[in-house]
Every structure is written in C-alpha cells, then in structure tokens.
Amino acid sequence: MHEVAHVPAWVPLAYLIAGVCFILALRGLSSPESSRRGNRFGMVGMAIAVVTTLVTHEIASLVEILIAIAIGGAIGFVIARRIAMTAMPQLVAAFHSLVGMAAVLVGAAAFLNPDAFGILDADGEILDVSRVEMGLGVAIGAITFSGSVIAFLKLNGNMSGKPIILPMRHVINLGTLAAILGLIGYFVTDQSGWVFWTVTALSFLIGFLLIIPIGGADMPVVVSMLNSYSGWAAAAMGFTLQNSAMIITGALVGSSGAILSYIMCRAMNRSFISVIAGGFGGDAVSGGGGPALDRPYKRGSAEDAAFLMKQAEQVIIVPGYGMAVAQAQHALREMGDLLEAEGVTVKYAIHPVAGRMPGHMNVLLAEASVDYDKVFELEDINSEFARSDVAFVIGANDVTNPSAKTDKSSPIYGMPVLDVEKAKTVLFIKRSMGGAGYAGVENELFFRDNTMMLLADAKKMVEDIVKSLV
C-alpha cells in the first residue's frame, strides 16, 4: 500500500489502543449491568482515534475540522436530547444512512482526487487494490444509505410496513448485484468515470430494491443488518484512507451486526437469506378464523386486573411495542413495585424481536430503572409461565401469538414465541380488538378462555391499575 508520508511509530499503537477500547465497548454492551462502562470505553476509543487522525493528517485546517465537529456534535446532542424512545429505531436507521453516505462521499473524493489520498501508482493511475477497495466501499455505502432510508420511512410510518412486492424482484435483484460486482471487477482494468458512477447508481438502486419487499415484522433484523453493512462500508473506506482505526472499527461493527442478525433470525425461525428476500407478513392470514369483532372474548377492567395480580404469587410482565408507543414503562415499573410490596414476585419477559430494533424493550425498561436481574430473555423465562398466576402482556402481539406453534398457514409459523398462554390468567392490554399485529396476523391469544382483554391506552390502563393497587 502506497503511503502518503512517513507515519510516526506511535500512530499504529494509538490506533491499536483505540481498537482494544472498541472491543471492550462491545463486551460491555453485551450486558445491561456493564453497558455504561462499555459506552465509556467506546467514547475513549473514539476520542483516541479522532485525536490521532487530526494530529497526523493535514487534509484541512484544524479550525475547519473543529468547526465541523462542533456543528455535528451540536446536532447530535440536540437530537439525542429530544428524540423519544419510541422513535429510537428510526434514529438508528437514520444514523446508519449517514454512515453509508459518508462512505460514498469518501469514495467519490478518492476517485476525483486520488493523489490527495496517496493511491496513485508510478504511471499516475489509481492502484488496482485501491480501485477494488473504493468500489466495494462505495457499493456497500450506497446500499446502506438507500436501504436505511427505506427502513426509516417504514419505521416512521411514512411508508407502509407491509412488503412492497415487485414482479420478478429476485431476478432484478440478482441481476443488479451481478452487474455491480462485474463493474467493480472491470473497474480494475478501466478507471473511467462512467464505471465508478454506474456502480454508485446501481448500488443506491439495489439498496432500495432489497428493503422495500421486507415486511415490518422483520424490521429488527433489517436494522441489525444495516448496522452490519455500515460497518463493512467503513472498513472498506479505511483501506482507501489507509486508516487502521477505521478498518478495525468497521470490521467490529460489521461482524457484530452480522452475528446479531443471525441470532435474531434464529429467534424468528428464519434464515438470513429469507429475510433479505422479503415478503414476511405480506400475505398474512389470521390463523384462527373470522375477524376479531365477530369472535367472543373476555373483557376486564383495571380493578379486575389489580385484584388478580394482587392475589398472585408470581406475575410475568411481557412488554412490547405498544408499551413503547404509549410511553408506559415508568407506570409499569411503579405497578411492579406496588405488587412486590404486596409480596408478589414480578419478572419481565423479553422476546429478542420485541419492538422495532434489537434490545428496544431492554432500553425502555432500563430507562424506567427496572432492576436488571428481573429482566429475562425468552429462553430463560418460557418455562416459568406454566408456574405463574398472571402473564401481563402490554403491547406485545406477534411474539405472544400461540398460532406460531400450531398454524402452518401462518407466516409466523415456527417462530419461537413467549408461552404466555400457559399462565393461569393472561391480562392483555390492547387499544382495541380491531387490527392485527405488525406481521399482519391476528393473535389467537385474545380468544383463549384464560385471557382477559384490557382495552385502553396502555399508559392509562397501567395508571388505573396502579390507582387500584394503592
């Protein structure tokens, strides 16, 4: 690799230390108890990487760079302070799009002014290896950008969460991907502008085509997948910039995002390829018969729910996206505290794909100061439902649907779900009986003999239950 200038010996060491900090950050983020420490390690590592880069590069004046950092930091600070927790998935998708666009812009800058990046050979041509790095970085970055924009629009409600199925989409997608890879290969022999810009345009297009067929129920996996893409884009641009910190960071983000996507696909009994192919929830048919309004169900009140839980020995609370929309997590924690004061054991059950992004429910419960040792993942809590008096479901629809275990015609068939129906009593908060879950599937749990529907806004219902418990 051609070097622009002599690199001081301490620079690789500084980047290595930054990389170690990033690894420690990931390790810390693997557990709620250590997540704050993990964030601190990430901040320290990024500070080391940024300062090292500023000291060793003279692409722009220090004043210009500091002004850019101040503007970006101020925007980020304002967004972070104002963003609602319910909008966190959209924010993550938006940030992924920015990483992708940054990779595209760096690649374009390197193509237009390769000498500034030190990637010219003796004949004044862009190095072959740099062309490959540049092509891959721009392609992955463009896919990340356009895919993240579509994910944002779906999550934010600006676009329908249902899959948008294009005719012959698999042929179109495979053909476009093959054209991109072929053009990147051709770029090694011909560095004409039309090759580079065609790769860029096709990559923007394929990102759009890959995400629009994906249904809302697969959005947690999509967010995780786009996170992985953004990491690989950063790593590819790290090679172009000859920056080992970017390579390390990008590889960490890319690999961890890919692993998380795989874990979440397993939690949904889905293959990663099938998620990319899209269509989940597009033609969903309720697994249990007629419309909800035509089927008998039990309806209860806040007083009924308070009485049942007050008499229980153990209550398992199952939060979902409905809790996030209603911002009911603080009232829910207060309800849990009151039940514990009455001698009731309270636990929280989290499905891996509850909410609209990985860890969405964990973040909301942590925000409400729910003790970490009361929060359990699906595989650790499922056996507890049969021994529990009450399962309290607040806005978790698809992940509690028992038809996933029995109805082979259901699009969520085979997806591991929380066994809430095994509890003696199921209390299910839902705004109304109309409508289905995000996967478009009616929940058979609503009509079970041991289920009592609490039809109201989630926050108001929980607050009314709290009043009845006092």
pLDDT tens by residue, 193-211: 899 999 999 999 998 888 8
Residue 17's φ and ψ, nearest 5 degrees, are: -60, -40
Q: Which of 218, 371, 398, 419 is catalytic?
A: 398
The confidence score (pLDDT) of residue 421 equals 93
Q: Are 394 and 458 within 8 A, CB to CB?
A: yes
Under-70 pLDDT residues of the chain: 1-7, 58-60, 85-86, 161-163, 215-217, 268-269, 274-294, 434-440
State which amino acid sits at residue 172.
I
Instruction: Kindly state the greatest CA–CA separation across the chain.
Output: 83
Region of residue 291 (left: phi > 0; alpha: psi -120 to 50; beta: else) = beta
Q: Are 376 and 382 within 8 A, CB to CB?
A: no
The confidence score (pLDDT) of residue 168 equals 80
First to last CA, the chain: 70
341 Cα distance to chain centroid: 36
Q: How far is CA 70 from CA 52, 56, 299, 385, 414, in A?
A: 18, 20, 54, 51, 49
Question: Which residues, 6 or more positions from 342, have their beta carbon under 8 angstroms from its beta carbon?
Answer: 310, 469
The confidence score (pLDDT) of residue 195 equals 93
Question: Which residues, 6 or more positions from 449, have their beta carbon under 8 angstroms from its beta carbon?
Answer: 298
C-alpha span between 22 and 217 (Å, rounded): 31
The confidence score (pLDDT) of residue 24 equals 92
C-alpha span between 370 and 120 (Å, rounded): 56
**What is the dihedral angle through the alpha carbons of 53, 55, 59, 65, rounded to the nearest 10 degrees?**
80
The confidence score (pLDDT) of residue 7 equals 67
C-alpha span between 92 and 212 (Å, rounded): 18
In the numeric block, the tokens 């990046």 are attached to 117
The confidence score (pLDDT) of residue 290 equals 43
C-alpha span between 49 and 370 (Å, rounded): 35
Kindly list the strands in the beta sheet with 314-319, ordered across the sheet, starting from the edge strand earlier in the chain.
Answer: 298-299, 451-455, 425-430, 390-394, 314-319, 345-350, 375-377
The confidence score (pLDDT) of residue 43 equals 92
- What is residue 269's DSSP assignment? T
Q: Is the pTM of this model over 0.85?
A: no
Q: Is 372 exposed, middle or buried (0-12, 13-18, 19+ CB in 10 A)?
A: middle
The confidence score (pLDDT) of residue 303 equals 93
C-alpha span between 233 and 137 (Å, rounded): 5
Region of residue 435 (left: phi > 0; alpha: psi -120 to 50; beta: else) = left
Q: Are 110 and 136 within 8 A, CB to CB?
A: no
398 belongs to the catalytic site? yes
Helices assigned H by DSSP within 188-316: 193-211, 219-241, 244-267, 272-277, 302-310
23 Cα distance to chain centroid: 20
